[in-house]
Amino acid sequence: QVTLVESGGGLAQAGGSLRLSCEAFGRTFINYNVAWFRQAPGQEREFVVAMDKSGSIVATLDSVKGRFTMSRNSALNTVFLQMNNLKPEDTAVYYCAATQQNIRRATPSLDDFRHWGQGTQVTVSS
């Protein structure tokens, strides 16, 4: 069983940057496909970006392309989400998710992931 713990959320101004971290406990990330999701108030949780076991990005939400970058540090057993040029519409709780199953959909869904972190709040002011 893997436990995921996110950190790094906070308040940023529009145009600013934040870096989220997701550390895995109990298992190593190289055995998992990992993704970031987010959920804005009153909205459904949506997919943001996913990385496969090899560390390759397999899918990215169109609205964050060119602004958000997902990476992994295997030595730290941590994945990161670097968020640049933040916009107020990026305000949400961001969740890290992991699965050992292959990601087959072009846009991964919540059902594709078994393990979830507790989430970290990102608030972007205009």
Token pair, residue 123, equals 């608030």
Task: Check residue 29 and give its pLDDT.
Answer: 85
Task: Check residue 63 and give its pLDDT.
Answer: 97
Parts of the chain with a pLDDT under 70: none
Task: Check residue 104 and give its pLDDT.
Answer: 85
64 Cβ neighbours under 8 A, 6+ residues apart: 48, 49, 83, 90
Computed over every residue of the chain, the mean pLDDT equals 96
Distance in angstroms (rounded) separating the CA atoms of residues 16 and 90:
11
Determine contact, residues 59/108, Cβ cutoff 8 Å.
Answer: yes
Task: Tell how many helices (H) and how many strands (E) occur in the chain.
Answer: 0, 11
Q: How many CA atoms lie less than 13 Å away from 53 in the CB half-sphere?
A: 10
